[in-house]
């Protein structure tokens, strides 16, 4: 997945400058997007319904198992934040039952200046139904 993201980034770089590229990840793709932003320049990073790490998410669901020994790819989204130079915006709903909202809150604390946009009553796949989501996303894409 990392290689696929890098391939798309290189295709974009053939057409526009890095300071015009906005990296956007949703759900499982948020860790991949964060990793890409940690190794490549971009204008901004937008994450929709992100997880703190794949291990942390697995532990949420399989808390009685030794998840660390079972997961092949930990995808430590939080670790990538240390290497991201672009502004980071996170969208997450308070009623997300796939990736708990608390993971986004914890992730947002990893880098000063990260903007967490909370969608009250938003779930994992319906943030697009909320006017606040559109207002904030439109603003991010225009500037």
Separation of first and last alpha carbons in the chain: 29
pLDDT > 90 in the chain, percent: 78
3-state secondary structure of 20: helix
pLDDT of residue 76: 86
Token pair for residue 104? Answer: 């986004």
For the segment 74-111, what is each residue's pLDDT rounded down to a tens digit? 688 999 999 999 999 999 999 999 999 999 999 999 99
Residue 31 and residue 25: Cα distance in Å, rounded?
A: 8
pLDDT of residue 59: 62
Task: Return the CATH number at 21.
Answer: 3.40.50.1820
Range of the domain at 25: 2-142
For the segment 19-58, what is each residue's pLDDT rounded down to a tens digit? 999 999 999 999 999 999 999 999 999 999 999 976 665 5
Q: How many domains does the chain have?
A: 1
pLDDT of residue 68: 57
């Amino acid at each position: 997945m990392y290689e696929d993201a890098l391939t798309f980034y290189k295709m974009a770089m053939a057409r526009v400058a890095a300071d015009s590229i906005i990296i956007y990840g949703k759900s499982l793709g948020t860790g991949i997007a964060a990793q890409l932003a940690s190794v490549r320049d971009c204008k901004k990073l937008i994450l929709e319904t992100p997880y703190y790490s794949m291990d942390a998410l697995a532990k949420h669901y399989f808390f009685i198992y030794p998840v660390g020994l079972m997961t092949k790819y930990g995808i430590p989204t939080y670790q990538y934040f240390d290497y991201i130079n672009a502004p980071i915006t996170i969208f997450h709903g308070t009623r997300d039952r796939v990736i708990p909202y608390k993971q986004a809150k914890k992730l947002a604390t990893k880098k000063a200046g990260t903007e967490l946009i909370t969608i009250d009553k938003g779930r994992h796949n319906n943030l697009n139904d909320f006017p606040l989501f559109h207002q904030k996303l439109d603003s991010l894409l225009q500037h």
